[in-house]
Amino acid sequence: MESAALLSPMDIHTIRRYVQTKYAPLPDGRRAEIVADAIRRALAQRMPNVPDELKLRMIDQLITRYLVGEKRDIHPEDVLDLIAEIGQGDERLTERLLEPLLEWANERTQRRWSPEQLASRLERHRGPSPLLAAAEPLAGVQLPEELVSGRNGWRGATWAAVRSLAKPAPAIVLASVVALGSATAWIALSGERSASIEESTSAAPPAPAASPAFAPDVGMPKALRYAEIDKQALIAYLNGRDSLLAEAPYFEAIMDTAREYDLHPHLLFAITGQEQGFVPKSAKQAAKIANNPFNVGHSWMEFNTDIANSAGIAARLLVKLGESRPEGYDPFEWFNRTYAEDPLWSVGVRKIFDKLSGLGEESGAIR
């Protein structure tokens, strides 16, 4: 009996429908990027705690082989098979992965594994690694015309990216070219079915390990703790969004809260961007929304307080969640589990945080 699926075509359909509804004003290509990114992140959350580069390459293979090629769910057993293939001729790699893989397998599969049983299972299922193969993995699969031609065509950039998997590929290539090819290929092929997305219960990709010993990555990351920022660049960006938060008392209240709770200011502002689009002045009841742009207490409508109080509540929650983050969990996705019901909340907050963190560099300012 196979274990519960890590990712299924129905999950893909649910993600697709959600993005089409929430991001309806965006161009088709931008929505496809969001869907592809969400698919990869959903699968990454349910993968074993292995090095990032390996995990990214495995995710591409799992999507290509099973979701697209065989049009079926991805199961934990498929991950074990892939690990076995990757370990062909490299026993040291298998040995290094055994401990995190054992913990993951005991959580995700139908049986209880001992180290000896898992090692034996990996040995029995070894075969030629698809990560080292040059053959096209989807030979014979009929793809929609829009995926064969056009700017996101499968036979162009995507085939080149798939063939290059034997080489260390930059994360941006895997996240855009391969994801847009393999993930959107299945999206176009999937039928009109609905299902809920299983909540994440395992680790998302950790920060790159400092050594093969996998240095611990726990608690609030340094990158999300308080740091001095280019305030003028941030204010200019907020003004460009017609944001009420660029003005007093909102801007300084959020900055003071970030300093008090040792949180990066961009993290708090990113949440206001995700929750309320930075509160445009043109929004109906903008003054009330700006009192609680973090939507603490469920929403600004149900809990209308003042900016200092709402920022403090949001900050205390983030600090608590950050301090409790287990090893291997992506911080944004760890916050997402408690802060928001929207499974794509972490995707939006991370992108806004990255955008804000690059403002000083874009303007040429020294931060």
Mean pLDDT for back-to-back runs of 10 residues, the chain (367 residues)? 74 82 80 84 88 86 82 87 76 78 85 84 58 35 31 30 29 33 37 30 37 62 95 96 96 97 97 95 94 92 93 95 88 92 90 91 45
pLDDT of residue 197: 29
Entry pTM: 0.46
Strand partners of residue 13: none
pLDDT of residue 36: 84
pLDDT of residue 307: 97
pLDDT of residue 318: 96
Nearest-5° Cα angle at 190, 184 to 196: 95
